[in-house]
Amino acid sequence: MSSMDLAWSDSEQRFRHDVREWLHEALPRWRAMVGDEPKSGDTREGFAQHLVWERMLHDARYAAVSWPARFGGRDASLWEWLIFEDEYYAAGGPPRITQNGIFLLAPTLFEFGSDEQQAGVLRRMAAAEDLWCQGWSEPGAGSDLAAIRSRARRVDGGWRLDGQKTWTTRGAFCTHLFGLFRSDEESERHRGLSYLMVPLDLPGITVRGFGRLDGDEGFAEVFFDDAFVSDEAIPGGVVLGTPGEGWSVAMATTGSERGLTLRSPGRFRATMVRLLDLARSRDRPDLADRLVEAWISTEAYELSTLETVTGIVGGAAVGAESSLNKLWWSELDVELHLIARELLEGEFEGDDAWSKGWQFALSGPIYAGTNEIQRNIAAERLLGLPRR
Amino acid sequence: MSSMDLAWSDSEQRFRHDVREWLHEALPRWRAMVGDEPKSGDTREGFAQHLVWERMLHDARYAAVSWPARFGGRDASLWEWLIFEDEYYAAGGPPRITQNGIFLLAPTLFEFGSDEQQAGVLRRMAAAEDLWCQGWSEPGAGSDLAAIRSRARRVDGGWRLDGQKTWTTRGAFCTHLFGLFRSDEESERHRGLSYLMVPLDLPGITVRGFGRLDGDEGFAEVFFDDAFVSDEAIPGGVVLGTPGEGWSVAMATTGSERGLTLRSPGRFRATMVRLLDLARSRDRPDLADRLVEAWISTEAYELSTLETVTGIVGGAAVGAESSLNKLWWSELDVELHLIARELLEGEFEGDDAWSKGWQFALSGPIYAGTNEIQRNIAAERLLGLPRR
Amino acid sequence: MHFAFDPDQEAFASATAELFDDLASPTALRDAWDAVPGALDRSVWRSLSAMGVLDACAPESVGGLGLDELSLVLVLEEAGRVGLPHPLVETASVAAPLLRSPLDGRMITSDLGGRSAPCAADADLFLIAQGDVLHLVDRTTVTVEEAPSLDGGRRLGDVGWNGGVSTVLAEGPEALEIARLRGALGTAAELLGLGRAALDLAVVHAVDRQQFGVAIGSFQAVKHALADVAKDLHFARPLVHRAAHSLATGDEDRVLHVAAAKARASRAAERAARAALQCHGAIGYTVEHDLHLFLKRIWTITPAWGSPATHRRRIARSLGL
Amino acid sequence: MHFAFDPDQEAFASATAELFDDLASPTALRDAWDAVPGALDRSVWRSLSAMGVLDACAPESVGGLGLDELSLVLVLEEAGRVGLPHPLVETASVAAPLLRSPLDGRMITSDLGGRSAPCAADADLFLIAQGDVLHLVDRTTVTVEEAPSLDGGRRLGDVGWNGGVSTVLAEGPEALEIARLRGALGTAAELLGLGRAALDLAVVHAVDRQQFGVAIGSFQAVKHALADVAKDLHFARPLVHRAAHSLATGDEDRVLHVAAAKARASRAAERAARAALQCHGAIGYTVEHDLHLFLKRIWTITPAWGSPATHRRRIARSLGL
């Protein structure tokens, strides 16, 4: 019932201050530990370097600030989470190699996991002891996720897995996979799928890393060849939610991936700031309007997030607008890097941050549901246009 | 077998000179005759004023330069036709109210009409004695033209017409209509249609003009209520081509409407020149890039037309690339006027040329097959993407 | 941190929306197009006055409600949504906060936002800038000459004032600047509503209109175009709301925030207009369909109270570009 | 007026295309990525030499064919289409017309079009500008330092020359300008071919790839995106062909025409790259798919021989903007 207030509270400002101070101290310390220019977290060497960082985050209880303290978090509010992200990206914190676990599996665990599952998985996840990758896409199931064919057959004391997952981010370096498997052989499409959590070191599981667009080994294919996963492989059981109901369980994660949590405004704000610095160092009045529009879009994303969080704090649910979010940040990220390319002209080459960033930005309109799928969702669910 | 040559021949240059001289003399004469600021040709008063101009064009044998002399033309080559159009728009010649007859019906008559039909229709068309409008669209048949329901029933000595046409350009001021009617009651979609030429002053035909986007009465609904059209209403018969084969006859016209003939580069070149004049009078460096890109697009359209005409002169047929043409000129025209709006800011109001032009430009992506339909055609016929 | 309107602000806007449902239909808007200059129907205007909308932001000392931009911005969105043919921005956003005497339901217009003043033939009072001084003057002391108007629901007039009797409402460059910012904010809010109106019409059409045996809204080309419009409007709104907050609280970045709001609301509304027309096809390309009423308003108020380019330039300067 | 190539010009390009079918497959291009610097495979280069492509534009007095830009432009499109990993623009477009002695199949590179020179580790000769003078020098007199390269099929090197023995190929600002225009034209032609290659891959993928039980190419979103790419390429081509004609005939507007060609071919190719990647989805977002070979070439040669912005500025100046 309060009126509009766009200021941060004293305690939020203290939190921001603490985060900033810590990052200011910890980032150089990490860089000094792993060598001054850490490699990309999507290479084997870089992954190990980033693991050091993840453990530093965990030690300082910054690995997952919004989680309960018993799982390694700080019971931080959503506002504080936003503040953390802002500061993290503003300080130039590296991409989180634990991201898929923390931002995709964890929210689902909080909603569907038993106490035992939560206790067994989350703490180790926050500590970067278990490293989780996502096993959704398959060679024949990309945009059409419901076409999943990997199978999980119920056997005595566990499941037997067959099939293939692909485009699994950092799969070659992770220890565990969460994914969707067809547990009812007769089923089709969205029915008869189960959401499983699987250690990757089991007999019958082969992981092959392969290069993303920028050549880093950030993708993997995961082959299941009659692999047996015991019920006890995960404390509380390997199935998350009800067997056969995996689709609805997974959709909670989709909401997270497409919506608020994966893409806090901080990342784009930080890119925007770097871009403005770059622009001020060049004489390019021809790009002024595009820079201004991109700046407005960055502001809009930030403000829209504040609006959404206000709603969530007040008890509202996030609906299909998350599709608009996905469209917005992915298009914004491409545009920011396109402008950078125009500014850099011939200097845009090789392994620099803008070049890597450009190639990564291009994945935005593809992953987490292509933008074509998102436009369908927005048109059908928000506007009520007919499916067919 | 000749090599590339982008120069005009002496005789073409002479032709250009003659056209320019005549326009230079005739346009002020016309304006003086009808009052210094002729009204839009899509109003009743303006139509009458433009009729005066059409008759001046005809008297000077410029109404349809590429037609045979016996129908009022000059047997001009396609190159000369292009030159005429360039000069016409560069001189600020008014929109042609005879356009739908000359550019849509006439090409079809040349291809499918009997000698008697050609002789009976073309000469009077060139002289602007008969004024032709197009009767294709119906309330339920827009993008989906094959959904036509207007019927033509064969009776003794002629046809009985029923149904309704709409969005008929300048229908309220024309004397004749050419259009598609379902002549086989049992037929569906593209089959069983006939291409008819119909005088509009027959009992049972009612024409109601209505306002286009800019308010001018440029559209009409045409109602057929058991109207009898005699076989003799048009010399050589009212059916163009074979009865029941109207779809393929009409598609020839569609090709013309969507392709080369309706939109010669001259119109866009003239708008571009006006736009550059406007831009030079303002200090708007923010629009320089858009102006440059629009200029390149104008050049590209002109050059592509030269390429196409070279092909036609050498015996090649124009295929589905005409869909790309339609997309190009319609998008270019919108962009040219969008830039003008940005340049004019608050001065963009009322009945001035840019305001009228803007509203007219917005019809480009809609008429002659919406741009959505054109993209389908290009994707399916040029690229071979599957229909379904 | 709390980025939402309070229940009173929302209720105020809902009440206005209900009023508009009754009195500001497209038919009423068409009547405004057809009205003889000086004879614009005022039933909705009188109801707005009775509800306290017109002088909501006027000081309580002159009978206003003493509210701020946050209370008005949602109301202006609703006004945009129906294409209200009255100078609500000029009266309620710009003039009301400066009033020195009761408004009493009078209609105020101004050419402060452009070369001409909307509804000049009908307004009772005129807000006129001379140098750094803002005067409120009676129509007996001004001359009004009809100016060309693309939008018949917002007919423009060129206002001349010979410097006769006036009430000085404000003085100094800052006061003038704030008045202009309020005009830009109000226009941005109207543009949001207008964009939404165009989108809503397009959605209805896409669901109803059958071609090739299906609703055209089932085609991806239509779906994706309208999804993009929804996206643009969705992300323009918080910018406008934030700008209202910045003006209400005197935020030091208010110029920047209003500039972002106006530039982006204009862009979103312009895109909505384009996409809505394209989805309607020839059916929308006629004055017999309601769509054009909204398109022409979008096209004519986009340059008002600072064109998008003007606002972009302000942002560029402030970003050091 | 005759805006078409003559049969000899077309036959020359077809013969090159056939050669590329045999020797310049994506596999060969991948080999170039993997090659040790200095060990780039030259089989296709030798065949181009044998066919007379490399010195087609060299004077007959030094064993060339004495042809002009019109004879080469279609060949360069074909080179773009296969992402040829050799400095064909530098050798055949820029250096050949200036040669003072037979080329004999040697590979010439240059940093005249950017900060670094493509294939610098492999080139035999280097075209170097010093002031207004264009020198051709042997690799024994230069230093080559590897430079960062996004495109492994066009690895860059920074070239240093201490001013030792050289052949002067041209002198004066106009000669240098023409050399640069030839580089820009050649790059524009390659971009057309590269854009077409990206489009062709996307079409094949859209026809083959099934999702939701149908080929994804049956979805309007895919159809329309690729139709727009086809449109952009279709209208970029005549600009490039006209620029070739203007250079060949010494047209007074050649600077303007080359600028339009390079700016627009870049834009069309960039758009093709974006759309092709999006249509491929994750399948194209990996170095295991051939698509990236073409995307990275497009991204790296777009700024070469004058960025699009540079060429746009030239046009703006010439239009009086």
Angle (CA) D271 D276 D280, round 5° = 155
Length reported for chain A: 388
Contacts of B370 in chain C (CB under 8 A): 278, 281
What backbone torsions phi and psi does residue C29 show, to the nearest 5 degrees? -65, -40
Q: Which residues pair with C217 in a beta bridge?
A: none
- C-alpha–C-alpha distance, residues B67 and D281, integer Å: 52
Asked if residue B206 lies in contact with residue B200, where contact means CB atoms within 8 angstroms, the answer is no
Contacts of A289 in chain B (CB under 8 A): 286
Tell me the three-class secondary structure of D153-197, residue by residue.
CCCEEEEEECCCCCEEEEECHHHHHHHHHHHHHHHHHHHHHHHHH
Q: What is the mean pLDDT of residues A330-345?
A: 97
Q: Which residues pair with B5 in a beta bridge?
A: D2
- Pairs of CB atoms within 8 A across A/D: 90
B 254-283 residues with CB below 8 A of D?
276, 279-280
Q: Which region, left, alpha or beta, applies to residue D316 given φ > 0 means left and ψ of -120 to 50 means alpha?
A: alpha
Give me chain D's average pLDDT, please: 97
DSSP string, D113-154: TSSSEETTTT-SEEEEEETTEEEEEEGGGEEEEE---S-TTS
Residue A286: strand, helix, or coil = helix
| CB–CB contact A379 C227 (8 Å) | yes
Asked if residue B355 lies in contact with residue B348, where contact means CB atoms within 8 angstroms, the answer is yes
> Among candidates C253, C246, C266, C259, which has minimal Cα distance to C314?
C259
Residue D27: strand, helix, or coil = helix
- C-alpha–C-alpha distance, residues C16 and B331, integer Å: 40
Give me the residue label for tokens 């780039």: D40
- C-alpha–C-alpha distance, residues D316 and A85, integer Å: 43
pLDDT value of position B232: 97
| CB–CB contact C212 B144 (8 Å) | yes
Q: In this model, does residue C307 exceed pLDDT 60?
A: yes
Q: What is the mean pLDDT of residues B362-380?
A: 95
Q: What is the mean pLDDT of residues B179-201?
A: 95
Residue from C286, C296, C313 to probe the interface with B (highest B Cβ count within 10 Å): C286
Smallest CA–CA separation between B283 and chain C, in Å?
12
Which residues of B are identified as catalytic?
257
| CB–CB contact A289 B286 (8 Å) | yes
Given pLDDT bands bounded at 50, 70 and 90, which one contains residue C90? very high
| CB–CB contact A142 D211 (8 Å) | yes
Give the CA radius of gyration of chain B.
21
A32 touches chain C (CB under 8 A): no
C211 touches chain D (CB under 8 A): no
Q: In this model, does residue B257 exceed pLDDT 60?
A: no
pLDDT value of position A347: 84
| CB–CB contact A213 D299 (8 Å) | no
* Residue B186: burial class (beta carbons within 10 Å; 0-12, 13-18, 19+): exposed
Structure confidence by residue, pLDDT tens digits, D55-113: 999 999 999 999 999 999 999 999 999 999 999 999 999 999 999 999 999 999 999 99
Higher pLDDT, A120 or B347: A120
Residue B246 CA: distances (Å) to CA of B114, B136, B181, B224, D289: 15, 11, 8, 18, 48
Q: In this model, does residue B254 exceed pLDDT 70?
A: no
Q: Which amino acid is at A169?
A: T
ipTM for the predicted complex: 0.97
Write out residues in chain D with pLDDT < 70, as ranges.
none
| CB–CB contact D2 B12 (8 Å) | no
- C-alpha–C-alpha distance, residues B148 and B192, integer Å: 11
Smallest CA–CA separation between A139 and chain D, in Å?
9
Please report all neighbours of D, defined by 3+ CB atom pairs within 8 A. Answer: A, B, C
Contacts of A262 (CB under 8 A, 6+ apart): A99, A103, A104, A256, A368
Kindly report the pTM of this predicted structure. Answer: 0.97
C220 touches chain D (CB under 8 A): yes
- C-alpha–C-alpha distance, residues B215 and B228, integer Å: 33
The H or E element that residue A314 is part of is none
Smallest CA–CA separation between A22 and chain C, in Å?
23
Closest chain C residue by Cα to residue A303: C238
Given pLDDT bands bounded at 50, 70 and 90, which one contains residue C295? very high
pLDDT value of position A262: 52
Q: What is the DSSP letter of B245?
A: B
Contacts of B321 in chain D (CB under 8 A): 234
Helix residue spans in chain A (DSSP H): 10-34, 44-59, 78-90, 99, 106-112, 115-126, 246-258, 265-280, 288-313, 321-344, 353-361, 371-377
Asked if residue C135 lies in contact with residue C168, where contact means CB atoms within 8 angstroms, the answer is yes
Q: In this model, does residue A36 exceed pLDDT 80?
A: no
Contacts of A5 in chain C (CB under 8 A): 1-2
Please report all neighbours of B, defined by 3+ CB atom pairs within 8 A. Answer: A, C, D
Beta strand C133-138 with D167-171 is unpaired
Q: What is the mean pLDDT of residues C182-207?
A: 98
- Pairs of CB atoms within 8 A across A/B: 7
Q: In this model, does residue A254 exceed pLDDT 80?
A: no
Residue B169: strand, helix, or coil = coil
Give me chain C's average pLDDT, please: 97
| CB–CB contact D309 A342 (8 Å) | yes
pLDDT value of position B263: 79
Contacts of A139 (CB under 8 A, 6+ apart): A164, A166
Q: What is the DSSP letter of B239?
A: B
C33 touches chain D (CB under 8 A): no
> Among candidates B294, B300, B325, which has minimal Cα distance to D236?
B300
Per cent of chain C over pLDDT 70 is 100
- C-alpha–C-alpha distance, residues A143 and A367, integer Å: 9
Structure confidence by residue, pLDDT tens digits, C255-278: 999 999 999 999 999 999 999 999
- C-alpha–C-alpha distance, residues B98 and B129, integer Å: 10
pLDDT value of position A252: 75
B 128-147 residues with CB below 8 A of D?
none
Residue from B283, B284, B287, B289 to probe the interface with A (highest A Cβ count within 10 Å): B289
Q: What is the DSSP letter of C97?
A: G
The H or E element that residue C54 is part of is none
- C-alpha–C-alpha distance, residues D187 and D88, integer Å: 10
- C-alpha–C-alpha distance, residues C109 and C95, integer Å: 9
* Residue B37: burial class (beta carbons within 10 Å; 0-12, 13-18, 19+): exposed
3-state helix, strand, coil in chain D (%, to 5): 60, 10, 30
pLDDT value of position B247: 94
| CB–CB contact D321 B292 (8 Å) | yes
Give me the residue label for tokens 């485009």: A167
* Cβ neighbours, 10 Å, residue A23: 22
| CB–CB contact C286 B211 (8 Å) | yes
Give me chain B's average pLDDT, please: 94
Q: In this model, does residue B255 exceed pLDDT 80?
A: no
Q: Which amino acid is at C243?
A: A
Contacts of B277 (CB under 8 A, 6+ apart): none
> Among candidates B174, B182, B220, B221, which has minimal Cα distance to B199?
B174
Please report all neighbours of A, defined by 3+ CB atom pairs within 8 A. Answer: B, C, D
What backbone torsions phi and psi does residue D88 show, to the nearest 5 degrees? -70, -40
- Pairs of CB atoms within 8 A across B/C: 90
Give me the residue label for tokens 């739908």: B100
Give me the residue label for tokens 């990647």: D277
- C-alpha–C-alpha distance, residues A180 and A246, integer Å: 6
Helix residue spans in C209-290 (DSSP H): 220-249, 254-280
Q: Which region, left, alpha or beta, applies to residue C33 given φ > 0 means left and ψ of -120 to 50 means alpha?
A: alpha
pLDDT value of position A256: 59
A164 touches chain D (CB under 8 A): no
- C-alpha–C-alpha distance, residues C199 and C277, integer Å: 10
By Cβ distance, the residue of B142, B286, B367 closest to C211 is: B142
**Least reliable range by pLDDT among A249-258, A274-283, B132-141, D41-50:** A249-258
Given pLDDT bands bounded at 50, 70 and 90, which one contains residue A350? confident
* Cβ neighbours, 10 Å, residue C72: 32
Q: Which amino acid is at A150?
A: S
- C-alpha–C-alpha distance, residues A359 and A218, integer Å: 12
